[in-house]
Structure 1
C-alpha cells in the first residue's frame, strides 16, 4: 500500500491514527472522552492512495453522514452537543466529526440488498454469501427479495477484511451483541433503502460500524454512515433500463470512475499514475450528484486538496 501523506497538524489535538481516508485525533490535554474524526480528500484504489486528492470530497462525505445520522433512530457517536466537548479546529470544521469514544466492535456490519461485488463472486462459487443460501440463477446486480446481513471481521491494519458467517460473529463478540448488530444493521438499511428509492436511487449495499458506550453499555452507530465510500448506490432509472450495458446499469455513485480509469491505464505494478484533472472533476461530480439526489440540497465544497 502507498504510504499515507503526513496528517494535518491541529492545535490542541494529537494525531493517533490515519486510514486511507480518515485521520483520528485525541485532545492534547489528555482527556479521553472524545475523538476528532477528520475525513480527508484522499482517494484510494487497489490498495494505493492516489494523487491528486479530490477537492471537497471530505466535506461532502461528512455532510452526507451527518444528514443520515439525523434520520436514523439509533444512538450515534456524535458529540457536538456535549457541553464538555472541545472545539473543532476551524481549518477542518467542515470535514470533521467530534465523536465520543466507544469500545468498537471488530465487525463490519455489511447489508446487501443486491447481489454484486464480492458477494456475487462468493455466490458463483458456493451458491451462498457468508453462509446464507440464495436462490439459484441469480445474476450480477440482481436485487434480493429481502436484504441479507453478511458481516466481516475487521482485519489488522494492512490486511484484508474477512467475510464471516453470523455464527462466527457471535463467537467473536458474543451472541447477544452479534444479534443486536445484525438487527440494527437491517433496520437502518431497510429505512435508508426506502428513503433512497423515493429519490430515484437504489441502495445496493452498505457497511456499518458500531461501538459500545463504555458507561451506559448501549449500542452506538459510529464512523461514517451511508456515504458513497461505505455504500453502493445506483441510479434507479439507469439500473432498470435494460437497453444499456451491464457496466452502465451498475455505475455507482462513487469512485468507480477512478477504478475504471486506472484499470485502463495501469497494470497494477509500481506506483499508480497521477489522475488527470478531468477524472478528478468527474469523480467529485459523481459524489456531489448523489448528495443532491438524496438530500435535495447543495453540498459544502472546500477547494483545497488535503
Structure 2
C-alpha cells in the first residue's frame, strides 16, 4: 500500500513521506468512533520509502506493517516509563496491521534525538568542532564510536522536503520552556536506556533514535507519540558486525541509499532531479532487512 485509500468512518487529512492521517468523518460510523474513543486520529503507515528528501518508487512491500507492529511492540516494552498515544488497533480491514487509532496530542515542535554512538549528522558536527549540539565529546572518536554516555541532541522539526536542524538544548528550552525541555530530555534518555538494553540482549546495537512527544489534552501527561524505535526512526546495527572507523551495516533502507549514490543508478543528486525507480533486487533486499529487524528485536516472525 503506497497511497491513501478511502476508509469507512474516516476522512483523509494529511500524507507525509510515509504516513497517512485520518480523522473521524461526519457519518454515523465516524460519530461512533468519537463516542467510543474521543478525539482521535488514525495513523496509517504506508509502504512508501524516502531517501535524501525524496519519496521513491516503488515502495517496499510490507514496510508499513513492520513499522506499525514494531512500534506497538516497543510501546509495550516502555509502558511503565511513559504513556503512549495508542488507543486501539481495531481498524478498517484495508489497513489492518499497518494502522493505529491514536489519541490526538498537542505535539512539541521538537525531534527528540538521543545518540549512544557517533555517526550521521552528529559525526559531521563532531568533525567540525568536537561537539554535537553544543555537547563537547572526547577527541579521537570515529564513525561508529560508542559515546562515553548517551547524549540528548534535539532537532527542530522541518517542513516536508526540508532538513531537520540539530540545535542545542538551550534553544529547545527557549522555545518550549525549561521544565518541558528538561522533561523531554529525561524521558528520551530513559527510553533509550531501556531500548538499548533490550536490543543489545538480542545482538542488536541501537546507535541512535528519534522520538516525538506531545501533551495529552485530557490528562496533561507528556505522552510518547508517532512511531517508536523502528528502522525508519532509529539506527540499528548488528552487534557482531560493529567496527568503529567505518560506516556500519544497518537494519534499514541502507540498500536504497547505497544504490541511489552508486554509478549504477545514474542519479545526479546535486542536480535535485527526481531519483530513478528502484530495481527489484534493491526493493527485495530492503524488505528482507526490515523483516529481519522486526524478528531479531521481537523474537517472533511477523504475521503477514
TM-score if structure 1 supplies the norm length? 0.90
- CA–CA distance in 1 between the matches of 2:182 and 2:53? 32
Q: Deviations over 1:120-151 (max 9, x none)?
A: 00011111000101011111110012100000
**Number of the residue aligned with 1:286:** 289
Pairwise CA distance, 1:6: 5.0
| Corresponding position: 1:77 with 2:85 | yes
1:34-113 alignment to 2 at 5 Å? Answer: 34-72=40-78, 73=80, 74-80=82-88, 87-113=90-116
Q: Provide the alpha-carbon RMSD of the alignment.
A: 1.5
Q: Which residue of the other structure, out of 221, 234, 252, is the alignment partner of 1:231?
A: 234
Name the structure, 1 or 2, with higher relative contact order (CA <8 Å, separation 6+): 1
* Counterpart secondary structure, 1:275: coil
Give every structure 1 segment of 4 or more consecutive aligned residues whose post-TM-superposition deviation is greater than 3 Å.
Answer: none
Unpaired stretches in structure 2, ≥5 consecutive residues: none
Is 1:254–1:286's contact at 8 Å kept on the other side of the alignment? Answer: yes
The partner residue of 2:257 within 256, 259, 265 is: 259
- Distance in 1, Cα, partners of 2:288 & 2:219: 41
Q: SS where residue 148 of structure 1 aligns?
A: strand
Whole-Å separation in 2 of the counterparts to 1:145 and 1:221: 26
**Kept after mapping to 2: 8 A contact 1:56/1:300:** no
Aligned to 1:122: 125
| TM-score for both structures, normalised by structure 2 | 0.91
Q: Residue 113 of structure 2 aligns to a residue in which SS?
A: strand
Deviates more, 1:100-109 or 1:264-273: 264-273
Contact 1:115/1:140, CA 8 A, preserved across alignment: yes
**Cα deviation 1:103-132 (Å, max 9, x = unaligned):** 000000000000100000001111100010
* Whole-angstrom CA distance in 1 between matches of 2:246 and 2:124: 16
Instruction: Summarize the alignment of residues 100-179 of structure 1 with structure 2, pairs less than 5 Å apart.
Output: 100-179=103-182
SS of equivalent to 2:66: helix
3-state SS of 1:281 partner? helix
Give the Cα–Cα distance (whole angstroms) in 1 for the partners of residues 96 and 39 of structure 2: 19
- CA deviations over 1:82-113 (Å, ceiling 9, x no partner): xxxxx521110210011001100000000000
Output the CA distance in 2 between the equivalents of 1:132 and 1:60: 34
Q: Report the equivalent of 1:276.
A: 279
1-side partners of 2:229 and 2:160: how far apart? 23
- How many Å separate the matches in 1 of 2:281 and 2:274? 20
**Rounded Cα–Cα distance in structure 2 between residues aligned with 1:172 and 1:161:** 16
